[in-house]
Structure 1
Amino acid sequence: MDGKGIKGIIFDYGGTIDTNGIHWMELIWESYLHHDIPVSLSDFKEIYIFVEKQLEIRKYIEQDYNFYDVLKTKIGIQIRCLCSRFSCDIDESRLLPYSEDIADECYRYVQDVLKDNKPVIRRLSENYKLGIVSNFYGNIDTVLKDFGLYDYFNVIVDSGLEGIRKPNPEIYRIGIERLGLQSEETIVVGDSFTNDIVPAKTVGCKAIWLNNKDKIQHKSMERKPDAIISSLVELEHLL
């Protein structure tokens, strides 16, 4: 990929910087299995999607919550919903304490991923303006500070504060404008073809798809990524 003329990079956060392309639904499900939570994959997926929609609408997540707080809160809500809607074999009072164990496991996973990704972000910040555009809960500043990433980014756009979510391309236009750049000077890096690649190309950015699971491109084949990587470590070699 030709990186000539690129002055800024906008990153997705969840699933990109923190997990290197692994979807959070998959990570939490693996932890459910590890802790023998008695629920089927189909029921878990239904509840996961339901809870995420509720988190968009209701203020369960406070702005001062770090990522461990987020995990513990959302997993606790998931487990309550599972018990009430699917009558799990273990009652809620016995199952709910597992939310902290699952949160611990997932939080450690992110810390391990960031051992590799944080130095990449730091080095890129020395040569490019960096931004984040993320579908989040209004507290991404706190999460980035918790992980020691906040100071590397010139602009942070959190859907929970903006009132607009990906895949609406307008949220990327906000990020580009706040970076003080033009679309053609900006690369977007994300793990979701639908939420990151398509809207990034729509607004005229170059786009790099973090795809380490051989995910299939979707219907909008005209919105092809400019490059595909399997980890953020590969990003530096493209620019």
Structure 2
Amino acid sequence: MATITALLFDFGGTLDGPAHWLDRFLASYRAAGVDISRIELDPAFDHATRTGYGATRIVARFGMTDLVRFLVGHQFEYLRKSGPEALRATLEDAGAAGRHRLVEAVTNSFVLETSAGLAHSREVVGPLKSRFKLGVVSNFYGNLDRVLQEAKLDRFFTAIVDSSRLGIFKPDAGIFEAALKKIQCAPESVAMIGDSIGKDCAPARKLGMRAVWLCSEPREGEDSGAADVTIRSIDEVAQIRW
């Protein structure tokens, strides 16, 4: 078995904290006093994500706070028009000013948690740079380089592959192949670390990479069979015996 000389990281749910963005948005909504379930928020989350992917020219200049505000704003617009009846009424009654305050509250809560996750990852990833080539492979909005620079993480990575910039999204093999080309490593010498079996582990493993599943909380329908290693925290990366 080849020696691992490079590590590729997912971003959302991996480098910025150990939870899926939908779950973190849900917690931020509830902290802001919005009564909503995960199932109710899911279509608004998907709508905002698709909108962000289609607005790369605008989003490319955003840091994390502006990105999250953009996404939350589109989530609220979806919920106001197509959300549960009770929530639609609440948001309508709140008026534009009330909705703006809620958007800011959700944004600030989400960004605060994200900033803490990125600060922690800085401490974890920094020492790895002396042992491995490092890269990030993410389904993102065209501003991943800016977000990593803002978080003082960019200096650690040889490759930053943003799906919206590349025009290829996980789990398509092309996004991983682009990262391998940038770090100039054969797949068998690379490990992919991410929180999704379907988007990170399975496609990476199919290309011949080692797959590390960051599973802070098991989610229904995800099977660790597509991962070579399962970890509960990003801190465990440094302890993996390759």
TM-score by length of 2: 0.90
* 1:12 aligned to which of 1, 10, 13: 10
**1:57 and 2:59 equivalent?**
no
* 1:229 aligned to which of 225, 228, 231: 231
Mind listing any 5+ residue stretches in structure 1 that lack a counterpart?
Answer: none
Spell out, residue by residue over 1:200-239, the C-alpha distance to the aligned partner (whole angstroms, 9 max, x if none).
Answer: 0011000100001023564794xx2111001110110004
Aligned alpha-carbon RMSD (Å): 1.9
Matches within 5 A, 1:107-126: 107-126=111-130
The structure where helix makes up a greater share of residues is 2
Once the 2 structures are TM-superposed, how far is the Cα of residue 118 of structure 1 from its aligned partner?
1.0
Spell out, residue by residue over 1:66-97, the C-alpha distance to the aligned partner (whole angstroms, 9 max, x if none).
Answer: 11111111101111121122323132512232
Alignment correspondent of 1:29 = 26
Alignment correspondent of 1:171 = 175
Amino acid of the structure 1 residue aligned with 2:4: I
* 2:71 aligned to which of 66, 69, 74: 74
For 1:82 and 1:88, how far apart are their aligned partners in 2?
10
Once the 2 structures are TM-superposed, how far is the Cα of residue 99 of structure 1 from its aligned partner?
1.2
Amino acid of the structure 2 residue aligned with 1:19: G
SS of residue in 1 equivalent to 2:89: coil
For 1:203 and 1:212, how far apart are their aligned partners in 2?
25
Alignment correspondent of 2:215 = 211
Mind listing any 5+ residue stretches in structure 2 that lack a counterpart?
Answer: none
Question: Which of 229-238 and 114-123 deviates more?
Answer: 114-123
Spell out, residue by residue over 1:147-201, the C-alpha distance to the aligned partner (whole angstroms, 9 max, x if none).
Answer: 0000000011000100000011221111011100000110000000000001100
**1:128 and 2:125 equivalent?**
no
Once the 2 structures are TM-superposed, how far is the Cα of residue 26 of structure 1 from its aligned partner?
0.4
For 2:147 and 2:224, how far apart are their aligned partners in 1?
33
For 2:179 and 2:152, how far apart are their aligned partners in 1?
21
Amino acid of the structure 2 residue aligned with 1:53: R
TM superposition outliers: structure 1 runs of 4+ over 6 Å: none
